[in-house]
C-alpha cells in the first residue's frame, strides 16, 4: 500500500480522526447496547469486577500488607494497608493511604494507579506512579506514609515513559524524557541519572547514556541487607540486554553472560535463564553461580533446570533459604524447591502443591522468611490464596467467590497437529452434556507471542457472559508463546510468524471436526499481539469463523515500527523498512484485505489513550474493511491505555460489547 488512504487516522487526537471515531462509536452503541441482553452482560460483568468478596491480593512490606482496591464506590481505587493479623479476619480493618478518586476530584484529573516503590529500610516514604487515563506514560510523586500525603517539594517526575527508583532518602535514579536526545527510537528513556533532593531534573548527574537505537536504559539499587548493590540495565532490544554493576566510583562492570539471557542477582547468587544455547547449556535452562565468582570471571555454573520436550520454566521465586521453581509440564504447573548448600543444590517437591491448574508463587519477604504466597486457580475454580512456609502444608487465607455455576462443566486438554506436523495443545471448557452436533457457540482465544504462555485461569466475566449461557470456551497454546520455553517462542519468530496462525487454524478445524461447533458458531478473539493473530485469522482463514473479535491490535505491519512503542518489537516481527518486509507482508492484515473474500462479521475494540499499540492500527483496518464492503463494527474507549479500560465500568462495557456482538452473530 504505497499511498495509504487511511493514514490520516493515525492522528490520535486529530479533530477529523476523533469525529470518525465518534461516528463509529455511536453506530456500534446504537446497534449493540440497547438490548436486554447487553444490559445483563454489562451488569453481570460489572458485578464481578466490583465484588467486595473477591480476594484483596497484598504485598508485604515491614509489618503491613499493602493492597490496591477498586469497586463501585471507588472506581479509580484506594491504596490501603492492614496488618497480617487483621488480614486473616473476614472483617479486615484497612487504613486508607490514598484515595485516587478523591485526588482526581481535588485536582480535576483522571489519574489511574500505576504502583508504588517503598524507601528501604524505613518504609515511611514511597514513589507513587499515576497515569492519565491509563496510558503507559505516567508521573511520579513522593508520598509520605505517616501523614498519608504527597511531599511538598518532594521528588517528582513529569508525565513521560520512564521511572524513578530509590537510592537512599535523598537520592533517586531517574529515567525519563528530558528533551531532545534523551529518548530512544522505541520511545523509552535513553539516559539514567542520579537525582538528589532539591535538584532540578535537567541538572541531575548523568550515570549512563545509551544509543538512540537501544530499547531503554534504567538503574536500580538492590537494598537487600548485607548485599546492597547498584545495577544498570541496558536493554538493547526486546530479547537482549546488558546488566552492569555500578561501582562506588561510578564505573560500570558488565555481567559476563549472553545478552539474550535473563539475568538476576539475589544475595550471593547470580541466576541466568537462557533464551539461546550457551556452550554446553541448552536454551530454556536456568543456571546459577556465586555472584562474586561471576564478577571475577571464574563462575562455576550449575544447571538448576533444563527443559525437556514437554516442560519449560515458567518462573521462579527466591525465599530466604530456597529457590522455588514453577515448571510447566504440558502447560500444567509443577513446583520444585531447590536449596543451596555446601554440597551443592538439593531438590524436593513443593509440599501441598495442587495436581492440576495454574499456580502462582511469590515470596512474602525474601529477606526475612521462607514464606511464599500461593495462588491456585483454573477455568472453573475461583482463585484461592494461601501462605506457605517452604516444606510445610499451605495455610489457606482467602478464597474468591464463584460467579457462575460450573457444576455441569468440564475442562479438557487436547492436542492437534499443525501444518508442519507439530503437536499443539489447547484447553477446552464445555458442558458435560455437550451434544457434539456442531451447534455450540464457541469462542476460541489465543495470543502466540513474546514467549507468554496461556495457562488456565478463572474469569467470572467469561463464566457469566459465555459459559453459563451455553457457550464453549477454548484457549490455544500457539507457537510464539512460552508454553514450551524459548524453542516454542522461536518457532514463530519473524519469518516463522505464520506458524502461530497455522496452529490457530488447526485448533479451529479440530473443534469443528470433533463436532464441538461449526463455522457459523465459531469465533476467534485476541488482543494486542493476539489482535494481530485475530486479524490474520480473518484475512487468511475466513472460512473457519462466524465472527472475529480484535482488541487493541497491531494490524498495519508496514507502519508498526514507526508508531509509538512499535520499534521495540522488531526482534519479534522483523524490520519492515528492510528486506524483512518480504516476509512481514505475509502476516500484515491491513495489506491482505481481499475485497472479494467472504469475511465473517468483525468487531474492533481499542483505546484512544493506548500509547503502546497505536489506535491507528484498529482505525485504519476498520476503514479499509468498510471500504471493501465487509461487515465491521468499531468502538474506541477514550481512556484505558493498552488495557482498553481505566476503571471497572469501562472494562465491563468493553467486554459486554464483545460478548453482545458474539451472541448476536453466533447464536
Biggest distance spanned by C-alpha atoms of the chain? 72
Task: pLDDT band for 2, please (50, 70, 90 cuts).
Answer: low
* Three-class DSSP labels, 71-135: CCCCCCCEEEEECHHHHCCCCCCCEEEEEHHHHHHHHCCCEEEEEEEECCCCCCEEEEEEEECCC
Question: Is 204:225 a contact under the CB 8 Å cutoff?
Answer: no
Q: How many residues does the chain have?
A: 667
pLDDT at residue 125 in the model: 98
pLDDT at residue 646 in the model: 87
- Catalytic residue selected from 131, 218, 260, 528: 528
Task: pLDDT band for 90, please (50, 70, 90 cuts).
Answer: confident
pLDDT at residue 343 in the model: 87
pLDDT at residue 274 in the model: 98
pLDDT at residue 355 in the model: 81
Phi, psi for residue 335 in degrees, rounded to 5: -100, 135
pLDDT at residue 529 in the model: 98
What grid cell was written down for 502?
497455522
Which candidate, 593, 621, 618, places its Cα nearest to that of 608? 618
Residue 128 has pLDDT above 70, yes or no: yes
Side-chain-side CA neighbours of residue 5 (13 Å): 9
Question: How far apart, in whole angstroms, are the C-alpha atoms of residue 558 and residue 577?
Answer: 8
Answer yes or no: 418 catalytic: no
Residue 76 has pLDDT above 90, yes or no: yes
Question: How far apart, in whole angstroms, are the C-alpha atoms of residue 189 and residue 186?
Answer: 9
Task: pLDDT band for 1, please (50, 70, 90 cuts).
Answer: low
**How does pLDDT run across 619-654, given as a tens digit for each residue?**
999 999 999 999 999 999 998 889 988 899 999 999
Edge-to-edge strand ranges of the sheet holding 332-341: 311-318, 323-329, 332-341, 344-349
Strand 332-341, strand 302-305: pairing: unpaired
**Across-strand partners of 376?**
359, 384
**How does pLDDT run across 202-256, given as a tens digit for each residue?**
999 999 999 999 999 999 999 999 999 999 999 999 999 999 999 999 999 999 9
> Can you state the angle between helices 648-666 and 36-50, rounded to 10 degrees?
140
**How does pLDDT run across 351-361, given as a tens digit for each residue?**
999 887 899 99
The pLDDT of 29-51, averaged and rounded, is 97
- Catalytic residue selected from 6, 244, 489, 642: 642
Question: How far apart, in whole angstroms, are the C-alpha atoms of residue 211 and residue 185?
Answer: 9
Indicate the SS3 state at residue 409: strand
Edge-to-edge strand ranges of the sheet holding 163-168: 163-168, 171-175, 191-196, 205-209
Residue 153 has pLDDT above 90, yes or no: yes
The pLDDT of 297-321, averaged and rounded, is 98
The pLDDT of 425-440, averaged and rounded, is 98
Answer yes or no: 617 catalytic: no
- Report the percentage of the chain scoring pLDDT > 70: 100
Question: Is 378:456 a contact under the CB 8 Å cutoff?
Answer: yes
Contact partners, residue 522, CB within 8 Å, separation at least 6:
442, 444, 508, 511, 512, 544, 545, 546, 666
Residue 347 has pLDDT above 80, yes or no: yes
Chain mean pLDDT for the chain: 97
pLDDT at residue 641 in the model: 87
The pLDDT of 539-552, averaged and rounded, is 98
**How does pLDDT run across 463-481, given as a tens digit for each residue?**
999 999 999 999 999 999 9
Amino acid at each position: 500500500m504505497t499511498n495509504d488512504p487511511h493514514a490520516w487516522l493515525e492522528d490520535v487526537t486529530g479533530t477529523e480522526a476523533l469525529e470518525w471515531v465518534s461516528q463509529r462509536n455511536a453506530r456500534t452503541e446504537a446497534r449493540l447496547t440497547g438490548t436486554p441482553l447487553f444490559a445483563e452482560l454489562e451488569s453481570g460483568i460489572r458485578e464481578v469486577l466490583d465484588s467486595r468478596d473477591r480476594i484483596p491480593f497484598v504485598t508485604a512490606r515491614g509489618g503491613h500488607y499493602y493492597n490496591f482496591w477498586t469497586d463501585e464506590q471507588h472506581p479509580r481505587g484506594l491504596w490501603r494497608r492492614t496488618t497480617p493479623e487483621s488480614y486473616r479476619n473476614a472483617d479486615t480493618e484497612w487504613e486508607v493511604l490514598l484515595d485516587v478518586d478523591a485526588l482526581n476530584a481535588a485536582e480535576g484529573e483522571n489519574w489511574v494507579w500505576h504502583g508504588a516503590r517503598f524507601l528501604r529500610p524505613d518504609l515511611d516514604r514511597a514513589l507513587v506512579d499515576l497515569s492519565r487515563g491509563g496510558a503507559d506514560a505516567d508521573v511520579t510523586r513522593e508520598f509520605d506514609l505517616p501523614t498519608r500525603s504527597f511531599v511538598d517539594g518532594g521528588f517528582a517526575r513529569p508525565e513521560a515513559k520512564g521511572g524513578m527508583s530509590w537510592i537512599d532518602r535523598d537520592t533517586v535514579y531517574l529515567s525519563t524524557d528530558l528533551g531532545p536526545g534523551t529518548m530512544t527510537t522505541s520511545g523509552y528513556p535513553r539516559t539514567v541519572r542520579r537525582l538528589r533532593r532539591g535538584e532540578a531534573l535537567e541538572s541531575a548527574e548523568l550515570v549512563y547514556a545509551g544509543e538512540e537505537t537501544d530499547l531503554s536504559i534504567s538503574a536500580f539499587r538492590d537494598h537487600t541487607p548485607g548485599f546492597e548493590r547498584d545495577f544498570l540495565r541496558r536493554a538493547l532490544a526486546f530479547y537482549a540486554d546488558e546488566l552492569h554493576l555500578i561501582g562506588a566510583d561510578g564505573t560500570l562492570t558488565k555481567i559476563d553472560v549472553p545478552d539474550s539471557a535473563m539475568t538476576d542477582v539475589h544475595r550471593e547468587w547470580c541466576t541466568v535463564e537462557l533464551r539461546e544455547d550457551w556452550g554446553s547449556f541448552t536454551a530454556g535452562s536456568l543456571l546459577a553461580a556465586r555472584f562474586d565468582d561471576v564478577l571475577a570471571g571464574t563462575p562455576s555454573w550449575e544447571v538448576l533446570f533444563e527443559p525437556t520436550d514437554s516442560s519449560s520454566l515458567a518462573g521462579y521465586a527466591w525465599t530466604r533459604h530456597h529457590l522455588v521453581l514453577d515448571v510447566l509440564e504440558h502447560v500444567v504447573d509443577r513446583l520444585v524447591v531447590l536449596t543451596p548448600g555446601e554440597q551443592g543444590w538439593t531438590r524436593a517437591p513443593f509440599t501441598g502443591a495442587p495436581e492440576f491448574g495454574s499456580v502462582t508463587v511469590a515470596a512474602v519477604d525474601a529477606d526475612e522468611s521462607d514464606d511464599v504466597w500461593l495462588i491456585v486457580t483454573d477455568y472453573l475454580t475461583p482463585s484461592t490464596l494461601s501462605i506457605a512456609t517452604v516444606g510445610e502444608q499451605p495455610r489457606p487465607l482467602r478464597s474468591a467467590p464463584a460467579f457462575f455455576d460450573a457444576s455441569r462443566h468440564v475442562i479438557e486438554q487436547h492436542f492437534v497437529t499443525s501444518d508442519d506436523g507439530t503437536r499443539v495443545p489447547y484447553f477446552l471448557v464445555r458442558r458435560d452434556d455437550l451434544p457434539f452436533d456442531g451447534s455450540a457457540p464457541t469462542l476460541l482465544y489465543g495470543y502466540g507471542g513474546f514467549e507468554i504462555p496461556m495457562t488456565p485461569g478463572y474469569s467470572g466475566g467469561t463464566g457469566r457472559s459465555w459459559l453459563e449461557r451455553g457457550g464453549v470456551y477454548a484457549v490455544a497454546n500457539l507457537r510464539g508463546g512460552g508454553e514450551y520455553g524459548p524453542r516454542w517462542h522461536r518457532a514463530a519468530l519473524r519469518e516463522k510468524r505464520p506458524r502461530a496462525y497455522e496452529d490457530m487454524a488447526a485448533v479451529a478445524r479440530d473443534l469443528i471436526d470433533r463436532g464441538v461447533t461449526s463455522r457459523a458458531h465459531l469465533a476467534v478473539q485476541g488482543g494486542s499481539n493476539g489482535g494481530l493473530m485475530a486479524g490474520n485469522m480473518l484475512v487468511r482463514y475466513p472460512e473457519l469463523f462466524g465472527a472475529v473479535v480484535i482488541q487493541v491490535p497491531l494490524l498495519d505491519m508496514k507502519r508498526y515500527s514507526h508508531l509509538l512503542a512499535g520499534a521495540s518489537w522488531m526482534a519479534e516481527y522483523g524490520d519492515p523498512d528492510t528486506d524483512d518486509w518480504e516476509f512481514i507482508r505475509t502476516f500484515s492484515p491491513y495489506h491482505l484485505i481481499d475485497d472479494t473474500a467472504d469475511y465473517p462479521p468483525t468487531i474492533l475494540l481499542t483505546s484512544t489513550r493506548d500509547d503502546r499499540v497505536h489506535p491507528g492500527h484498529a482505525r485504519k483496518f476498520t476503514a479499509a474493511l468498510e471500504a471493501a464492503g465487509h461487515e465491521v463494527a468499531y468502538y474506541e474507549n477514550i481512556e484505558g491505555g493498552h488495557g482498553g479500560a481505566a476503571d471497572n465500568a469501562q472494562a465491563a462495557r468493553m467486554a459486554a460489547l464483545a460478548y453482545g456482538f458474539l451472541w448476536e452473530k453466533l447464536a
